[in-house]
Chains A and B, each alone.
Chain A
């Protein structure tokens, strides 16, 4: 069955890249523009994996992860965080907020798909 991936990123460029890479890899991709929007999307969808950015307006990645982890319907969904290499501290915070793993930006398609595969059952 086709797996569904929710991508949450405020950057159009990033959203487009994620969409392209993940759909090429055979995933169904749904998108949200920030954490708040992500929660709205989750109300009607049940993705298999979530990929989220950290720095976003309205609700950032940390807040988003935490809300998802407190949501009985989605608490068990793997969440990958998009971080940059120098964000050791942010990675740590994301992890504490409940992120499953991370994808280091910039990612190439192989890296991204491998990371998704790593957490997708």
Chain B
């Protein structure tokens, strides 16, 4: 790859890191952390982006970063108070910066008006008048003219455009202290054109008084060059402050001639007067039009100033992150596959051993138990490699919230909790869209306008809470708002209007709330561009279900709504109950199971048709005959001959699954049916059992949904292909 292209790639990677740092820093500041290191880090992030962008001539990015950086510099210097209002602007500026970076990377375009507007807002933040410190230095634009290094020649008929400069140059000790060299400066002047140099040694003291670090020599240089005075001054750019410098343009017709003689005279005079070697006035000053350069104050004093300024950042300890390595994801997945095979193999071995009828206390059985435990540990460790904190998804949300707040004119605060909660990488990747949609909903539909909130006696600022936590082997993510809650009469009316439910339907509050998950349901009277068109909560629900997750809603009028998602930590293994149905082995995910029981006579009641209910502790629960439901057999089986598994969905819906027998409980490796065969309604995936046979894993929610009559489209009664 072209080295510059490679560096550019590095730049964009680094930008992403800087942008993350920037946002984290700004959020910390919003949270009241105004530690100088935080502010510095924020500044540095923008500064780095700008520096790199400049190198690649990304003009839009540089321009915006520059304005942003200026504002941050004011904050850093204490000239601009980081009030919540200021931080809001800064955070939005960070978003624009991120957009500009991505546009530069992917070649997209950005909303010019938006970045312009924010640039203006940033400028408006600047204290005093908005003028930015512009440097008059136009960079180092000297172009070496090659090899006209002629000390002796006496101006051999210069081209008419040539200028003649008399340069008087007296270095101060500070010039040498900064490792500048007179010889190098003369060399560079020589590259501009022929020079004549004379050295004034009049200040040179006796050897015994000579300070080896002093500066005693003064130089007079006559330069003939096609360049203008700026080019000449530029040679002295680095040393302007550390020398006495005069540049006289001799070309000008009014310029005094014969400077050489004057020089010698003045030098002679100076030598006579030179009683103190360090008197700057002693420098020859024969020409009246001299431009004295500003004097330098004592270097020591400045040094201490600089030191004090530097002391702060250097004092900060730098927390070192734990060492990490990057590994190709394929390798990890291969390892996970292998461990899956190991688990299956271990299960097979265990089964063979049992079949061999060995004593429970035999060495083989004990060894096998240890193997099982080790296998499980290996599996957990391997899964941990794929696990990542949900932070990567959560940290995209503050920006979304800010944008939505700006678009809707609502005042919103986002509170995130449990960002460190880990879950499988695939789950994280597929979480972004549903989360985004739910947050949009919460702000667009959930939260009220500020006036309405005040009228309702609530704080003007609405709160959206995003939290993640581990609960019984699953990750639970909650999105709650303190808005108006679900408007149940309206939701019901809309559902009726759209023909989703019959007009006379009697629904519980919970059922009404769940109407929003129906396909094609949208509560906004006008579809706004915020919550989108066509993509409703049904899509959210389906994508969560596709991950083996569940979603539920609880809402209290006037208090707000909470969406709860429960997802598996990994998509690779699952704890399941192994059951038999019509000689087929099925797996019921353990997380869905509440209890198992043996039905007694009189507990099962017919409901007309094939529908039956079972009374469990005097509560009626629909009885689902799995064998019939999946098409394993045509007629209903005798409930008294089977076992009932009581399952519950995240939404609280309960159902009793009738199976023939329970074989046991086991951890199974999930093998995708969709990837290897195709999607089968009612079946989530498959696995390989210890005896080498394939067993299907039941999709409890899908079966439940189907039997309850609100099956998603595509889940048709005939599921004979599952057999």
- Genuine A/B complex: yes
Q: Which residues of A contact B (CB under 8 A)?
A: 10-14, 16-17, 20, 35-36, 53, 55-60, 62-64, 66, 69, 75-79, 82, 84-89, 91, 93, 95-107, 111, 114-115, 118-121
In angstroms, Cα B177 to Cα A66, docked, is: 11
Q: At the interface with chain A, which of B48-56, B440-448, B623-631?
A: B48-56
In angstroms, Cα B54 to Cα A104, docked, is: 10
In angstroms, Cα B318 to Cα A61, docked, is: 17
Q: Which residue of A lies closest to B175 (CB)?
A: A100
**A105:B314 contact, CB within 8 angstroms:** no
**B177:A14 contact, CB within 8 angstroms:** no
A residues in contact with B601, CB < 8 Å = none
**A66:B310 contact, CB within 8 angstroms:** yes
**A60:B180 contact, CB within 8 angstroms:** no
In angstroms, Cα B310 to Cα A65, docked, is: 10
Asked whether A115 and B140 contact (CB < 8 A) given A63-B313, A100-B179, the answer is yes
Give min CB distance, B130 to chain A, whole Å.
14
Asked if B299 is at the interface of the complex by the 8 Å CB criterion, the answer is yes
Asked whether A69 and B238 contact (CB < 8 A) given A59-B314, A106-B51, the answer is no
In angstroms, Cα B318 to Cα A96, docked, is: 27
A residues in contact with B134, CB < 8 Å = 85-86
Asked if B64 is at the interface of the complex by the 8 Å CB criterion, the answer is no
**B133:A107 contact, CB within 8 angstroms:** no
Q: Which residue of A lies closest to B18 (CB)?
A: A11
Asked if B455 is at the interface of the complex by the 8 Å CB criterion, the answer is no
- Some 13 contacts from A to B, beta carbons below 8 A apart, are A11-B48, A17-B55, A55-B48, A57-B313, A62-B306, A62-B309, A63-B311, A76-B179, A84-B54, A100-B178, A106-B62, A114-B142, A119-B180
Give min CB distance, A103 to chain B, whole Å.
7
A residues in contact with B132, CB < 8 Å = 86
A residues in contact with B302, CB < 8 Å = 96-97
User: What does the 1/0 interface line of B52-90 toward A look like (CB < 8 Å)?
Assistant: 101111000010001000100000000000000000000
User: What does the 1/0 interface line of B1-29 toward A look like (CB < 8 Å)?
Assistant: 00110110011011000000000000000
B residues in contact with A104, CB < 8 Å = 137, 139-140
**B306:A85 contact, CB within 8 angstroms:** no
**B179:A59 contact, CB within 8 angstroms:** no
Interface of A is mostly: mixed
Q: At the interface with chain A, which of B39-47, B337-345, B423-431?
A: B39-47
Apart from A76-B179, A111-B141, 8 more pairs, CB < 8 Å? A10-B44, A66-B303, A85-B137, A86-B134, A95-B178, A96-B299, A99-B178, A115-B140
**A96:B305 contact, CB within 8 angstroms:** yes
Asked if B237 is at the interface of the complex by the 8 Å CB criterion, the answer is yes
The CB with the most chain A CB atoms within 10 A, among B179, B183, B237, is that of B179
Asked if B281 is at the interface of the complex by the 8 Å CB criterion, the answer is no
B residues in contact with A36, CB < 8 Å = 314
A residues in contact with B54, CB < 8 Å = 84, 105-106
B residues in contact with A10, CB < 8 Å = 44, 48
**B10:A13 contact, CB within 8 angstroms:** yes
In angstroms, Cα B591 to Cα A6, docked, is: 60
Asked if B111 is at the interface of the complex by the 8 Å CB criterion, the answer is no
In angstroms, Cα B221 to Cα A100, docked, is: 22
Asked if B557 is at the interface of the complex by the 8 Å CB criterion, the answer is no
Q: Which residue of B lies closest to A16 (CB)?
A: B7
Give min CB distance, A115 to chain B, whole Å.
6
Give min CB distance, B483 to chain A, whole Å.
42
In angstroms, Cα B126 to Cα A86, docked, is: 15
Q: Which residue of B lies closest to A110 (CB)?
A: B143
**A13:B314 contact, CB within 8 angstroms:** no
In angstroms, Cα B132 to Cα A14, docked, is: 25
Residue in A58, A89, A115 whose CB lies within 8 Å of B133: A89
